Amino acid sequence: MSIPRRLSREAAQRDGEVVRIAGFLQEYRALGGVAFAIVRDRVGSTQVTLKKGVAPPELFALLADLPRESVVEVEGTIRRSEKANRGSELFPTAIRVLSRAETPLPLGVVDKVGADLDTRFDHRFLDLRKPEVRAVFELRAALLAAFREAYRARGFLEVETPKLLRQGAEGGATLFPVDYFGQRAFLAQSPQLYKQMLMAAGFERVFEIGPVFRAEPSDTVRHLTEIGMLDAEMAYIDGAEDLRGMLEEVVRAALGSVRRSLTEAENPLADGLPELAAPFPRIPFETAEAWLGRPGAERDFGTEDEKAIGARVEREYGTPFYYL
């Protein structure tokens, strides 16, 4: 019977057991009669310890000749160790090379030396191996799951609306046209029309998480041309304050869930998530204008204005969330 593969975090808890791990060879060091290899997988890393006279001699030569970021599979016995990574080390009996990395590597994965943006994009598969990059993907996945959980717990039904439309929902100036079998169609810029249709059909509470497309040039971090949007609709309300209260509940529940799940997964981004108190501050438009030094101007706020207002709210109210 074959030994099941264990992730590094799980393998570390199996003291005295024979386990099999697999991942990227992050580092190899030989120090006289002992050598150390670090094998990284999607949840962490395992220290593989080779001692002369204990480990098969051919394993030393195999690892010494293997480039970093090669993919390996290691079988051996896990032992607790206060000095080792995650408090345990793996003493190998067999190592198999699954994929040998080409050299030289165009960029490092765990190195402190950075790489320019073009290099990172040209070799994106390597860049995505960086633990700090993966942490962002994990944060996004946890956030989407938490929002879904929060909305469903409050009686909302998740829907999926069409993304190829005959016409736009918010005017035609920002639509991406596409050829639809000889006819003209557009990429969806909003699910608004379909949400309203569902309200008229008596669905009462719906939400959608999906892509929207807007043909507006953008060179900001907001990626206006293609974004993921969370959109919800709710019927039978007495006023806008009902919507604000519901949104506060959802956001607070979602962020609390994300903080707990990322902390459990040892994701470093968990520490940066705020603990939110309700209600969120309500900032009148006139107050924000006064903060910006132009009371009564009645001008729309730009990006820099929004940043300044957000910074003021954080200073005075201690929260990044507010209603304007």
Q: CA 110, CA 38: separation in Å to the nearest integer?
A: 12
Pick from 219, 143, 159: nearest CA to 194: 159
Q: CATH says 8-99 is which class?
A: mainly beta
Going from the first residue of the chain to its last (324 residues), give the mean pLDDT of each consecutive group of 10, the final group possibly shorter.
87 94 96 94 95 94 96 96 86 97 92 87 94 95 98 98 83 80 93 94 97 82 81 96 96 97 95 92 94 84 91 94 95
DSSP string, 178-246: EEETTEEEEE-S-SHHHHHHHHHTT--EEEEEEEEE------STT-TTEEEEEEEEE-S-SSHHHHHHH
Element (H, E) at 120: helix 117-122
Q: Where are the domains of the chain?
A: 8-99, 131-255
**pTM value surpassing 0.85:** yes
CB 107 within 8 A of CB 119: yes
Residue 183 has a pLDDT of 93
Pick from 259, 254, 246: nearest CA to 147: 254
Q: In this structure, what DSSP letter does residue 154 have? A: T
Question: Where does 131-255 sit in CATH, by number?
Answer: 3.30.930.10
Q: CA 131, CA 292: separation in Å to the nearest integer?
A: 40
Q: CA 237, CA 7: separation in Å to the nearest integer?
A: 49
Give the strand pairing for 157-158 and 205-213: parallel
Residue 24 has a pLDDT of 98
Residue 241 has a pLDDT of 96
Residue 83 has a pLDDT of 83
* Alpha-helical segments (H) within 265-317: 285-291, 303-317
Residue 243 has a pLDDT of 96
Residue 173 has a pLDDT of 57
Residue 297 has a pLDDT of 75
